[in-house]
């Protein structure tokens, strides 16, 4: 579920087709840097209603979704 | 009674360090720094001290306001990278100016300048002062790990000052702190006590950039609308938003979430980097000298940084 939310968020942000974003897609290939991911985390915090403390950097959208899911209380 | 701003000034070291120059000894690039931070070049002290910068910025502000040093009733200085733990930077500036009033430093890291304005407003409210000098001055180059490409590329040295006089230009303010050292920590020098057993960190800026970014954007988005409302204004009334120049991406992210036209958010981080407590008065003085700020304009100032701390205020020029 988190993956779908993130994919939709990225598709909105980049104005691209959500179907082109898979769990294996890397942030780098989309031109999304670490501060963009922090902004996405902030939006997710609002949407999901829990705090997501940032640590290190993640390469793929799938890893990112897993990280966010692991923060769910 | 609070205060109004009678004059502004700034001073920066003459040495310019470009991103290209940094990339000669760090694994970084102009493209990386420009896009992640928004800095193209910064000023770095070579022979200047923080006191020199504070003094020169103060002289410029005094000259604009037509004030003599002996007329000052108080000097405050916001800094975290002064030359000495003692004397305070404010005392050094007082001595160099030949002023005779009390002087002290304030430490609220990058939020220091607004914390200082709020402190100044208190002295005016109690009728203790008629003219005050407030200075934000930093020699951040002294507290950076120049081998750490994540921090040293962000900061720069500089100072900004204001002369304040009696008036009612300080309309509203908010100060906030969320104490802890897990996001930003700048230890003091290690010392040589043979009795101290704790592990010590190098006395440089240690920062979790991602958490700092989150705190800063959230602070800006909460504090600015609050102080505008407290001043009895609408967001559209604000002529200029003067944010602490920490990272252009923080300003970009925050301005997208507010109802203030984007072109009213001001910035000069591309030329100076993050000068901590000096960034707001440095930016205001540049704009003031360019004639961009007119009598009656409403300025919303906001800042955020180590502490963690944040602050915002609305000033009528």
Backbone angles phi, psi at B122, to 5 degrees: -65, -45
Interchain contact, B210 vs A38, CB within 8 Å: yes
The pTM is what? 0.93
Q: What's chain A's average pLDDT? A: 85
pLDDT (tens digit, 9 = 90+) per residue, B23-47?
999 999 999 999 999 999 999 999 9
Q: How far apart are the CA of A4 and the nearest CA of chain B, in angstroms? A: 23
Chain A contact set for B35 (CB, 8 A): 33
Q: Taking the domains of chain B in order of start, what are their residue ranges?
A: 2-168, 172-316
**Is residue A58's pLDDT more than 80?**
no
B247 is catalytic: no
Alpha helix (H) residue ranges in chain B = 19-22, 30-36, 50-65, 89-97, 112-125, 209-230, 248-255, 269-272, 279-289
Chain B contact set for A35 (CB, 8 A): 36, 209-210, 213, 247, 249, 253
Least CB-CB distance to B217: which of A37, A42, A54? A42
Q: Tell me which of B13 and A27 has the higher pLDDT.
A: B13
Going from the C-alpha of B10 to that of each of B205, B251, B278, B281, the distances in angstroms are 24, 22, 9, 7
Tell me the β-bridge partners of B158.
Answer: B138
| Domain B2-168 in CATH 3.40.47.10 | yes
As a whole number, mean pLDDT of residues B219-234 equals: 97
Nearest CA in chain A to B250: A35
pLDDT of residue B135: 98
Least CB-CB distance to B211: which of A33, A37, A53? A53
pLDDT of residue A59: 84
What CATH number has the domain bearing residue A45?
Answer: 1.10.1200.10
Q: Which domain holds residue A25?
A: 2-70
Q: How far apart are the CA of B218 and the nearest CA of chain A, in angstroms? A: 9
pLDDT of residue B215: 94
As a whole number, mean pLDDT of residues B57-67 equals: 98
Total count of domains within chain A? 1
B27: Cβ contacts below 8 Å, ≥ 6 apart: B149
**Is residue B132's pLDDT more than 90?**
yes
A17 is catalytic: no
Enter the tokens of residue A17: 């087709």
As a whole number, mean pLDDT of residues B76-105 equals: 97
According to CATH, the topology of domain B172-316 is Peroxisomal Thiolase; Chain A, domain 1 (3.40.47)
pLDDT of residue B220: 96
pLDDT (tens digit, 9 = 90+) per residue, B181-198?
999 999 998 888 999 998
């Amino acid at each position: 579920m988190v993956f779908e939310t993130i994919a939709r968020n990225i598709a909105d942000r980049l104005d691209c087709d959500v179907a082109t974003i898979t769990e294996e897609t890397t942030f780098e290939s989309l031109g999304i840097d670490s501060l963009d991911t922090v902004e996405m985390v902030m939006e997710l915090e609002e949407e999901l209603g829990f705090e997501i403390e940032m640590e290190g950097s993640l390469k793929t959208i799938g890893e990112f979704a897993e990280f966010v899911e692991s923060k769910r209380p | 009674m609070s205060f109004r701003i009678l004059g502004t000034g700034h001073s920066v070291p003459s040495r310019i360090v470009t991103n290209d120059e940094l990339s000669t000894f760090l694994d970084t690039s102009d493209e990386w720094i420009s896009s992640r931070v928004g800095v193209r070049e910064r000023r770095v002290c070579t022979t200047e001290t923080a006191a020199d910068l504070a003094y020169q910025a103060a002289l410029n502000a005094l000259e604009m306001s037509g004030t003599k040093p002996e007329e000052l009733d108080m000097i405050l200085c916001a800094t975290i990278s002064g030359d000495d733990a003692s004397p305070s930077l404010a005392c050094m500036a007082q001595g160099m100016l030949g002023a005779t009033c009390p002087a002290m430093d304030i430490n609220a890291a990058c939020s220091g300048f607004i914390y200082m304005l709020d402190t100044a407003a208190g002295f005016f409210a109690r009728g203790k002062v008629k003219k005050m000098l407030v200075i934000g001055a930093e020699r951040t180059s002294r507290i950076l790990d120049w081998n750490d490409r994540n921090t040293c590329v962000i900061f720069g040295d500089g100072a900004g000052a204001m002369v304040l006089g009696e008036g009612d230009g300080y309309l509203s303010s908010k100060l906030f702190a969320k104490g802890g050292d897990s996001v930003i920590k700048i230890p003091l020098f290690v010392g040589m006590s043979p009795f101290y057993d704790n592990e010590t960190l190098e006395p440089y800026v240690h920062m979790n950039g991602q958490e700092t970014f989150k705190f800063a954007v959230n602070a800006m988005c909460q504090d600015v609308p609050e102080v505008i409302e407290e001043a009895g204004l609408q967001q559209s009334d604000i002529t200029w938003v003067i944010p602490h120049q920490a990272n252009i991406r923080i300003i970009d992210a925050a301005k997208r979430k507010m109802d203030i036209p984007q072109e009213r958010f001001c910035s000069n981080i591309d030329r100076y980097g993050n000068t901590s407590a000096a960034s707001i008065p440095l930016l205001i003085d540049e704009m003031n000298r360019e004639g961009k700020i007119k009598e009656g304009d409403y300025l919303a100032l906001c800042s955020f940084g180590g502490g963690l701390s944040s602050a915002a205020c609305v000033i009528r020029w």
